Each structure stands twice: as C-alpha cells, then as structure tokens.
Amino acid sequence: MKIEAGMAAYVTGGGSGIGRGMAMSFARRGVRVGVCDISEADAAETVRLIEAEGGAARAIRVDVSDRVSVEDAVSAVETAFGPIAIACNNAGIAMHGVPLHEISAADWDWVIGVNIHGVINGIQAIVPRMLAAGRPAHIVNTASIGGFQVNPNFLTGAYSMTKYAVVALSEGLRNELEGRNIGISILAPAAVDTKIHLSERSRPERLGGATVRPQNHFMGDLIKGQMQPAEIGERVANAIEADEFYIFTHPETKQWLDRRHAAIDAAFESAERFGSAATAAAAE
C-alpha cells in the first residue's frame, strides 16, 4: 500500500519507543496520526514532536487491555482524521526475569491483557471499519523476535508466549483477509533502545496499579544504545509500502531462528525413523 498524505493512522503505545518512532515516520509522510497511549503525557509529547515538524496528530488515552477503551480510541481517531488506513497494534509490556511458575496471577493477567488482548481488541475494533470503508489499508501487529524463539539466556518465557500469540493472530488474520485490500504485517524487533523495561509504571489500576518490577530492569542495560525507535519507524513505513508480512529489524538474529528450526527438523527426522521402524516391525 502506498502511504499517502492525508491518510489516518492509529498507533498504540505511541507515546514512546517504537510507537513514537512509527508515529513520527508516518507523520513525516503526511499521515495524520492518532497517538494512543495509556500515558496521556507521553502521547502529548509525541504529538508535540510531530507538530513541531509540521505534522498533524492527536493524543488519545487508551488502555489496550480494555475493549471499550480501544473502541473509544479508534472512534476518536476516525472522528478527528477520517477512516483509519494504518493501524499499529503496538502497545506492549515486559514480563522478564521471573520463572514462569513464580509469576503472580495479577502479572499473568496484565501481560496477557496488554500483549494479547490488546492486539485482539485492536483487530476487532478496526477490521470491520476497514472493510466497511473499502479502501486500501494496512495493519501492523508488534510481536518481537521473541515471538519466534525463546531466548535461553533470559527469563522471558511469559513475554515470548504472548508474542508467539501475536504471530499466530497475525498469520490467521492474513489468511482471512486475503484479497480484501488490507495488508498485514508482523513487526519482530530485537534490542531497541526503549523504556519497555519500565512498563510496570503504567500498569492500570484495575490490574494492580503502577508498581516497580526490578526483575525487568536488567533489560534496560541490554537495550541501551541499541537500535533507535526512529529507525524502526522508517523500517515499518517502508515495509508497509512493500507489503512485507514479516518485518524483521535485526538480521543477526536469524541464527536464533535457524537453531530452533534445526531442532524442529531433527524432531521430524526422529518421527520418520520411528515410523519406519514401526512399519518394518509390523511387516515381520
């Protein structure tokens, strides 16, 4: 899809990090951006940066884990700027540094609520509107390289679980919307210099309220000085125009997926050997 001036975009998590990078890249192309974030102050700062460059944007508070909040945010974007042509279900939180069996029920609800239900809520609010509008459109769902493999060096199983779900949701959505003039992309970055390790500061009250999770904070050191959100924003804008489904950002991480795929191939070879042996035994 060609990104054209005057289009409207909906970007969750737009108040900082990758969401801000995408919002600003779209705005530089003349897109009018609904900057949606649970932090109104962060969303307003992104809008300020966009307007300082001559772009158009509006700050909208959204809790993506709340379906009504998402519906309201989508309606607010369309009221301000017209039918949404680009939708980025990008808001996400970290859930690192704690073994799976030790994660509290409240934290499970939170990470699933934001990282999975946030995408589901976006899909259900936006896709019917895009279909009704009948115009070229594109949806970007932010997963992670962690949605394709689980890093053995960090306790990120809960986070990766949610990002695997985003991959499956996106692959299913692509199948269902084939031929309907709505492109789908999965954004799968690795280390990006954001504040995702501090996401617990924005935990909504109904899921326990703001807190401090020091277990996340090792990630801050790992991602500091890594790829910048602005670069991710440009990568996404170009990928939308090229109709890329998988948007990878760190080529060096391919080896991580290669290792996983090699293990899967070996497992199928084992299944073939077992089947052959069973057939031979039955023939005796």
Please give the distance of CA 165 from its chain centroid, rounded to a whole number.
11
CATH topology for 8-249 is: Rossmann fold (3.40.50)
pLDDT in tens, 86-114: 999 999 998 888 999 999 998 999 999 99
Which residues are identified as catalytic? 159
Q: Collapsing DSSP states into helix, strand and coil, what is residue 155? A: coil
User: pTM of this prediction?
Assistant: 0.91
Who contacts 197 (Cβ-Cβ below 8 Å, separation ≥6)? 94, 96, 216, 217, 218, 219, 220, 223
pLDDT in tens, 214-269: 666 666 666 778 779 999 999 999 999 999 999 999 999 999 999 999 999 999 99
Return the domain boundaries, the chain: 8-249, 253-284
